Each structure stands twice: as structure tokens, then as C-alpha cells.
Amino acid sequence: MIGIGFDVHKLVEKRPLVLAGVTIPSEKGALAHSDGDVILHALCDALLGAMGVGDIGDHFPDTDPQWKGASSSVFVHHVTLLMQERRLFIVNIDCTLVLQEPKIAAYKHEMKSAIAALCSIPESRVNIKATTNEHLGYVGRNEGVHAFVVCELQKL
């Protein structure tokens, strides 16, 4: 089964920039109810999509106080439990981050390791790609960040 996830968050000053569970030095971070980790949010949606069980908003509504300020790794953990119940394992995860600033090349390996650890899979099953938005639109003006994630699941 294949799943796709997309997420966007607004970038504002005086907020941490958390991507794939890694806090990256940055003048701006995501404005969000949770930690605003676009990669982990898109990952949850990709995994939920592959399972055919709705989206992150269905499972972790931002109106529910229990998720206020929650680390997105908590969401990923819940989603992996749903996969275990269905005896599904991750074949691979492929992430694309679209961010104008800062450059995240130096953090890609740490992000990949963090996703592999959260999902209990080898790092070889996770890929992180990053691109700028060529200074175009709101991502290009560093007012927002996008992430796309595709995954494949298989039955054990």
C-alpha cells in the first residue's frame, strides 16, 4: 500500500524550527498548535493514507487539549501502533522538504536517523530530500515551509 502526505506551516520569529524531530538553528520556526514539525506531520498522513484510515486531523484534532504542544514524535508513535495492529511494516519512506532558509543539508542524516528510530526501521528505508523554493511565493519569502512524504507499507 502506498500513502502520500503533505503539510505546510507558517514560519514566524521566536519559534523553534523542528524538522523530522530535529531542532535546527533558525531565525524562524513553525507557528503551530503542536511543535509544527511538517515532516513528521506529512509522514503521519502518508502512513495513515497507506492504511486507508483518514488523516492526522481525524486522529489528533487540534481542538483536543491532550495534543497541545505535543511533540510530533508522539503522533508518529500512535500511527506506528495502528500499523502494528494491522501487521503492516514500512517498506520505505521518501520525504521532500521545501524550505528557503536555513539550508538543512548538514542535518539530513540526523533527520533520517530520527525517522528510522521513531518508526523502528533501518535508516536505509528512509530518504530525505530538500529543496529551496527558488525565492518564489510564500515559501520562497521564508514565510512558510512545505513537506511531502510518500511511503509504502506491506503486510507481514
> Site for Mg ion (CB under 5 A): which residue of 18, 35, 40, 41?
41
Nearer to Mg ion, 7 or 49 (CB): 7
Q: Does 7 bind Mg ion (CB under 5 A)?
A: yes
Residue of 48, 37, 53 lying closest to 97 (CA atoms): 37
Count of residues that interact with Mg ion, criterion CB under 5 A = 2
Nearer to Mg ion, 15 or 41 (CB): 41
Give how far Cα 7 sits from Cα of 88, 94, 120, 123, 154, Å: 24, 14, 23, 22, 24
- State in angstroms the smallest separation of the CB of 64 from Mg ion: 15
How far apart are alpha carbons 142 and 87 in whole angstroms? Answer: 40
Q: Does 45 bind Mg ion (CB under 5 A)?
A: no
How far apart are alpha carbons 156 and 17 in whole angstroms? Answer: 36
Taking CB under 5 A as the binding criterion, the range among 41-49, 79-87, 130-138, 144-152 that sits at the site for Mg ion is 41-49
Nearer to Mg ion, 39 or 83 (CB): 39
Residue type (1 letter), 106: A
Q: Which residues pair with 22 in a beta bridge?
A: 19
Residues 90-119 that bind Mg ion (CB under 5 A): none
Q: Give the footprint of Mg ion on this chain (CB under 5 A).
A: 7, 41
